């Protein structure tokens, strides 16, 4: 297993380098720049600003300097947040995004997987149709529609009641300020996990080794928990890998709607402001987490299915 993980990490290095390189040149070659605003900047001031951030250098030299700083763990200064480096902004935003993301994924696992199993065990019943219908609704309704609806209900409709919830802001991570964002984040994952678990469990229950175990007279509960469940979890783990990475790096939609100081919101602001270093920092973090989670998924495959080999 250790050699497998080592090989995957070695393969991840050129992959991450390619992502960094493509993003760097795409951002630099796109029209406009970080100092192009509504009010025109005098040419002398613009030249000084470009020189201060080394943007007056040839693009190849800028790339080499950026990669050298990156090897030292320095994402560089933010072009728009003057008093902060990108490292500081990511460190602040990651705490917010990770807290909400982990809470959302835990909630999704607790709700989505059991309901998917229940729907599979009672296939073509009222329970199955209900779970499938609610899951499909959760998948097709966009988050930017569901979030305002929940704000209207809990922040405005239930105003001055014990059930009122804030419409946004972070306020140091107070529980009542996290309920709506976490619930909105988890909804689509609950829906996907329920659908995926249901389909994979139905397929697992039809496998020959499961049918053999049932024919030998093993209790149905034991057949499900010890034989079918492990196989059924493999598609779920495949989905959870990149899903966890996405949630840990923040949701651009929900963090913007709820005004949360997370990485997703920083990414949106950085893209709008053409803040090269901030966008690059968030992109590198997201790509690194996705690569890491895919390695974790491959390792978990071997734990769930003994037929999977690392060699």
In this structure, are residues 147 and 253 in contact, taking their beta carbons and an 8 Å threshold? yes
Q: CB-hemisphere CA count at 13 Å for 239?
A: 21
Mean pLDDT per 10-residue segment, the chain (311 residues): 82 93 89 71 79 86 93 90 89 91 94 94 92 92 88 90 87 87 92 95 88 83 84 90 86 87 88 88 92 89 71 55
Evaluate whether 238 touches 100 at the Cβ level (below 8 Å): no
Can you name the residues that pair with 211 across neighbouring β-strands? Answer: none
Domains of the chain: 90-304 (1.10.3720.10)
Q: Which two tokens stand for residue 164?
A: 């009122």
Residue 85, classed as helix, strand or coil, is: strand
Instruction: Give yes or no for a contact between 140 and 147, defined as CB atoms under 8 angstroms apart.
Output: no
Closest C-alpha among 286, 292, 309 to residue 8: 292
Question: Cα–Cα distance between 89 and 78 in angstroms, integer?
Answer: 9
On whether the CB atoms of residues 119 and 131 are closer than 8 A, the answer is yes
**Closest by Cα among 278, 282, 281 to 34:** 278
pLDDT at res. 308: 67
Q: Are 199 and 123 in contact (CB under 8 A)?
A: no
Determine the pLDDT at residue 189: 94
Instruction: Return the number of other C-beta atoms located less than 10 Å from residue 71's C-beta.
Output: 8
- As a whole number of angstroms, the distance between CA 209 and CA 46 comes to 71
Answer for the pair 213, 223: CB distance below 8 angstroms, yes or no: yes
* pLDDT the model gives residue 51: 83
User: What count of other Cβ atoms lies within 10 Å of the Cβ of residue 171?
Assistant: 11
**How far, CA to CA in Å, does 156 sit from each of 141, 143, 153, 259?**
21, 19, 6, 17
Helix residue ranges, H only, 206-259: 208-215, 220-223, 229-248, 252-257
Asked whether the beta carbons of 165 and 147 are under 8 A apart, the reply is no
Specify the pLDDT at position 311. Answer: 55
Q: Which helix (H) or strand (E) holds 135?
A: helix 126-140
The predicted structure's pLDDT at residue 249? 81
pTM, two decimal places: 0.86
What is the rounded distance in angstroms from the CA atom of residue 212 to the CA atom of residue 229? 15
Residue 86: how many other CB atoms lie within 10 Å: 26
Copy the structure tokens of residue 193: 């996990």
């Amino acid at each position: 297993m250790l050699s497998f993980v080592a090989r995957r990490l070695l393969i991840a290095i050129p992959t991450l380098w390619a992502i960094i390189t493509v993003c760097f040149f795409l951002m630099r070659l796109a029209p406009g720049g970080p100092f192009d605003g509504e009010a025109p900047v005098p040419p002398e001031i613009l030249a000084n600003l470009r020189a201060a951030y080394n943007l007056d250098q040839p693009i190849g030299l800028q790339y080499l300097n950026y990669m050298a700083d990156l090897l030292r763990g320095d994402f560089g200064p933010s072009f728009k947040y003057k008093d902060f480096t990108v490292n500081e902004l990511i460190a602040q935003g990651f705490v917010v995004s990770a807290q909400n993301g982990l809470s959302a994924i835990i909630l999704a696992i607790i709700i989505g997987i059991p309901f998917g199993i229940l729907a599979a065990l009672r296939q073509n019943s009222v329970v199955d149709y209900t779970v499938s219908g609610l899951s499909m609704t959760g998948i097709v309704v966009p988050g930017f529609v569901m979030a305002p609806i929940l704000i209207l209900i809990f922040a405005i409709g239930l105003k001055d009641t014990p059930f009122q919830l804030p419409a946004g802001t972070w306020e140091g991570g107070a529980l009542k300020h996290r309920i709506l964002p976490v619930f909105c984040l988890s909804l689509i994952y609950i829906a996907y996990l329920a659908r995926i678990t249901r389909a994979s469990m139905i397929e697992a229950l039809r496998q020959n080794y499961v049918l053999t175990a049932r024919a030998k007279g093993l209790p149905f509960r034991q057949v499900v928990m010890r034989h079918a469940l492990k196989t059924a979890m493999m598609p779920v783990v495949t989905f959870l890998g990149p899903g966890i990475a996405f949630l840990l790096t923040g949701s651009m939609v929900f963090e913007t709607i709820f005004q949360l100081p997370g990485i997703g919101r920083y990414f949106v602001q950085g893209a709008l402001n053409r803040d090269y270093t901030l966008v690059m920092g968030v992109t590198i973090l997201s790509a690194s987490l996705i690569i890491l989670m895919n390695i974790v998924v491959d390792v978990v495959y071997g734990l769930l299915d003994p037929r999977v080999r690392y060699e």
